[in-house]
Amino acid sequence: MAPPKIVTLGCRLNAFESEVIRERALAAGIADTVIVNTCAVTAEAERQARQTIRKLRREHPGMRIVVTGCAAQLGAAKFAAMPEVDQVLGNAEKLDAANLAEGGERIRVTDIMTIRETAGHLIDTPLISDFGERTRAFVQIQQGCDHRCTFCIIPFARGPNRSVAPERIVEQVRALTARGYAEAVLTGVDICSYGADLAGGPKLGDAVAHILAEVPELKRLRLSSLDPAAMDETLFTLLAEEPRLMPHLHLSLQAADDMVLKRMKRRHSRADALAACEWARKARPDVVIGADFIAGFPTEDEAMFANTLSAVSDMGLTFLHVFPFSARAGTPAARMPQVPGEVRRERALRLREAGNAALATYLATQVGSTAEVLVESGEEGHTPHYARVRLSTEAPAGAFVKVRLAEARGDHLLGVPLS
Ligand code: SF4
């Protein structure tokens, strides 16, 4: 009997949930089962899910294959029709090991838009205690999304915004620090909507303040993607005053042209995003800011794209995640006049080049300075500002090593331990 094998595709939230699935499947004695936790953020992600399933079937002919995650939530029948697949579970069902038991219905997928309660697995059952080989642990604080960006299918896979109770998050972070995790990364679908569904409407900043106050043993707290239109004042105050809140913000910008942002149905303007960056720098002058961008959104012309491209330097962005627009069937953006594929790819390339140049400039400013690196694998780790550092000598994963940043090498720095 082989222990359950969990294959995770997609985002940090999926990574967190896969750890929940792993712990519950083990506790329930589930065996000889492969669980594929899929992603549906793009059509390409769905194609990869199917490809992964076929490969797993070849590699594990005798095992049950259970498909779950966002692609399964949105396309249950399609996955159930695959001969390689034994069962399809929805995003709500995947967290209940009883659904994984042999002989269950082939398709068990609830209409996720009807789910209202805070994520069940975070109310009554043991917290996750392990995060595999990682020294940084992702901690889910929120689920779902109430926004309707015109390019995005995620709200229909994840359901409405639901927040995890602050005391439950604190228990989770305590359980992980007790296991030696030095860094927690708060994650969700739209963490800036945190608390909108909770009594008193606490904001993300309140949750961060609560965690830092209640878990003094936590060394580093990092935030995943932030909506520049919804970053609250407490967050900036903490950025200014709390050294354990990492000076690295990643903004879900997507574009920096007001007409494109309007057609994306984003809640921020170019000026709002610029103001958020300035506010962050005023709070913490050494803060490093990254951003997500979609290149070639429908109707985007060269002038509009130029506004997005120039935002890299105007906003002082360093770490860019760039995606050429990919139409998601069922979204309003898929019905808009499309920008030709080669133009999307070419614009994505120019944005990435601007990002690489910005990163190289930032890394060059760090050469000669010292930094504390949290070692993730024997010879690599990240600074508080999220610069990747390769160590000149090995160190144990989970260790904090003070280094002199001796050299910039492409997308990372060489770190020489000081003692
Ligand atoms: S905020 Fe927009 S992009 Fe993000 S999950 Fe919600 S709808 Fe999608």
Q: Give the per-residue pLDDT at 118.
A: 55
Is any atom of ligand 1 closer than 6 Å to the C-beta of 145? yes
Ligand 1 close to Cβ of residue 149 (< 6 A): yes
> Does the beta carbon of 189 lie inside 6 Å of ligand 1?
yes
Residue 144 CA to ligand 1 center (angstroms) comes to 9
User: Hunting for tokens 């951003």 — which residue is that?
Assistant: 291
Q: Among 112, 154, 265, 293, which residue has the most ligand 1 atoms within 8 Å of its CB, making it the best to mutate?
A: 154
The structure's pTM equals: 0.92
Kindly indicate the confidence band of residue 114, based on its pLDDT and cuts at 50, 70 and 90: confident
Predicted pLDDT at 121: 47
The C-alpha atoms of residue 352 and residue 350 are separated, in whole angstroms, by: 5
Domain-located, residue 57: yes
**C-alpha span between 265 and 263 (Å, rounded):** 5
> What pLDDT score was predicted for residue 100?
86
Specify if 61 maps to a domain: yes
Looking at residue 366, its pLDDT comes to: 98
The fraction of the chain above a pLDDT of 90, given in percent, is 88
Tell me, what's the pLDDT at 351? 98
The predicted pLDDT at position 183 comes to 95
Do 325 and 247 belong to one domain?
yes
Q: Sorting pLDDT into bands at 50, 70 and 90, what band is 117?
A: low
Same domain, yes or no: 290 and 159 = yes
Looking up residue 103, the CATH number of its domain turns out to be: 3.40.50.12160
In short, whether 294's Cβ falls inside 6 Å of ligand 1 is no
Range of the domain at 382: 370-417
Cβ of residue 154 lying under 6 Å from some atom of ligand 1: yes
Domain boundary among 110, 134, 164: 110
146 and 162 assigned to the same domain: yes
Q: Is 155 in the pocket of ligand 1 (CB under 6 A)?
A: yes
Give me the CATH number covering residue 311: 3.80.30.20
Contacts of 414 (CB under 8 A, 6+ apart): 389, 390, 392, 405, 406, 407, 408
Query: Which tens digits make up the pLDDT trace of 236-293?
Result: 999 999 999 999 999 999 999 999 999 999 999 999 999 999 999 999 999 999 999 9
Q: Are 139 and 256 members of one domain?
A: yes
Atom 4 of ligand 1 has which residue's CA nearest to it?
A: 190
Answer positive or negative: Cα dihedral of 238, 241, 245, 248.
Answer: positive
Domain boundary among 91, 110, 129: 110
229 contacts 267 by C-beta, under 8 angstroms: yes
Please check whether residue 115 lies inside any domain of the structure: no
**Over residues 120-128, mean pLDDT:** 50
**Domain identity same for 137 and 283:** yes
CA dist 342 and 73 (Å) reads: 31
Q: Are residues 408 and 313 in the same domain?
A: no
Residue ending a domain, choose from 59, 86, 110: 110
Q: List Cα–Cα distances, 4 to 22, 64, 95, in angstroms.
A: 7, 10, 14
- Measured CA to CA in angstroms, residue 170 lies from 213, 214, 236, 237, 418 at distances of 10, 7, 21, 20, 34
Helix (H, G, I), strand (E, B) or coil at 184: strand
- Whether residue 15 lies inside any domain: the answer is yes
Alpha-carbon distance of 387 to 410, in angstroms, equals 12
Q: How many domains does the chain have?
A: 3
Closest by CA position to 17, among listed 162, 100, 121: 121
Q: Which residues, in sequence order, are bridge partners of residue 294?
A: 323
- The verdict on 62 and 104 lying in the same domain is yes
Higher-pLDDT residue of 42, 39: 39
Q: Is the CB of residue 293 less than 8 Å from the CB of residue 351?
A: yes
Task: Read off the pLDDT band of 129 (50, 70, 90).
Answer: low
**Residue 370: C-alpha distances to residues 85, 101, 417 (Å):** 51, 52, 9
Verify that 261 and 331 share a domain, yes or no. Answer: yes
pLDDT value, residue 122 = 47
Looking at residue 124, its pLDDT comes to 47
Question: Length of the chain in residues, anyone?
Answer: 419
Q: What are phi and psi of 249, to 5 degrees?
A: -120, 140
Same domain (yes/no): 309, 170: yes
326 and 412 in a common domain: no
Task: Evaluate whether residue 38 is within a structural domain.
Answer: yes
Q: What is the pLDDT of residue 365?
A: 98
Answer whether 152 contacts ligand 1 (Cβ < 6 A): yes
DSSP readout, 16-61? HHHHHHHHHHHHTT--SEEEEEE--SSHHHHHHHHHHHHHHHHH-T
Residue at 265 is within a domain: yes
Please state, in angstroms and rounded to a whole number, the distance separating the CA atoms of residues 99 and 102.
8
pLDDT tens digit sequence for 161-207:
999 999 999 999 999 999 899 999 999 999 999 999 999 999 999 99
- Mean pLDDT of all residues belonging to the chain: 94
Pairing of strands 64-69, 220-223: unpaired
Return the pLDDT at 145: 97
- CA angle (382, 249, 352) in 5-degree steps: 80
Contact 402, 393 (CB under 8 A): no
Range with the lowest mean pLDDT among 92-101, 129-138, 219-228, 358-367?
129-138
Q: How far apart are the CA of 146 and the centre of ligand 1, in A?
A: 8
Is residue 378 predicted with pLDDT exceeding 60? yes
Residue 150: is its pLDDT beyond 50? yes
3-state helix, strand, coil in the chain (%, to 5): 40, 25, 40
Q: Is residue 232 part of a domain?
A: yes
What average pLDDT score do residues 299-324 get?
Answer: 98
- The verdict on residue 155 lying in a domain is yes
Residue 157 has pLDDT above 60, yes or no: yes
pLDDT at 132: 57
How far, in Å, is the centroid of ligand 1 from the Cα of 87? 28
**Cα-to-centroid distance, 250 and ligand 1 (Å):** 15
Q: From atom 8 of ligand 1, which residue's Cα is the shortest distance away? A: 152
Q: How far is the CA of 148 from the centre of ligand 1 (A)?
A: 6
- 142 with 244, same domain: the answer is yes
Cβ 280 vs Cβ 236: under 8 Å: yes
Which residue carries 């903490």 as its tokens? 238
**What is the predicted pLDDT for the residue at 131?**
63
Do 320 and 385 sit in the same domain of this protein? no
